[in-house]
Structure 1
Amino acid sequence: MPDLDTVRQEIERMRIQIGRQRKEILQLQRAGIGTASAEALLSRMEAKVEGLCVERDALKVAQPRQSRGRVLGGRTW
């Protein structure tokens, strides 16, 4: 089972790819080219990201809690 950081990196990478895919679909639509297969790929990519987010949330719950009440580089209240 992958660790939390690996899942987060994969989500970030996939979101970047989704953004590129959306831009490409817009370019194809402006050119009058059919985009059905590209849109199907986009929906599969979005479903994959949703699955990774569920996995990330499960890993976050399973991870032990770190000390609360501290702000990164801040004071302890």
Structure 2
Amino acid sequence: MGLDRVRSEIEHMRVQVGRQRKEILQLQRAGISTAAAELLLQRMLAKIDGLCDGRDRLKREEDGPTKGRVLGGRSW
């Protein structure tokens, strides 16, 4: 899976997490148990963490060694 694909999947999952959070709030307001919805939310967040780890790994592989460079600094 390429870097752009991973980034796209992360963004998609973040949108889904927002929807899930809104749904949980609606269930709470209605007095309905949210245990199952909260478990799903935790699984979604774990998947995003895994995707972010994969994205960071792909980014490091793509960038190559950054020895001697300072964040935001000049490349001499």
What TM bracket, shorter-length normalisation? 0.7 to 0.9
Tell me how large the CA RMSD over aligned residues is. Answer: 0.8
In structure 2, list runs of 5 or more residues that go unmatched: 65-76
**Equivalent residues, number:** 64
Q: Which one scores higher on RCO, CA 8 angstroms, separation ≥ 6?
A: 2
Letter in 2 for 1:24: E
Using the alignment, how far apart are the partners of 2:47 and 2:57 within structure 1? 15
TM-score (norm 2): 0.82
Tell me the percent identity.
Answer: 66
List gaps (5 residues or longer) in structure 1.
66-77
Distance 1:64 1:4 in 2: 12
Q: Is 1:40 aligned to residue 31 of structure 2?
A: no
Please give the alpha-carbon distance, in whole angstroms, between the structure 2 residues aligned to 1:44 and 1:60. 24
Q: TM-score, normalised by structure 1?
A: 0.81
Runs of 4+ in 1 over 2 A off after TM superposition: none
* 1:9-68 CA-partner distances (Å, limit 9, x unpaired): 000000000000000000000000000000000000000000000000000000036xxx
The aligned counterpart of 2:25 is: 26
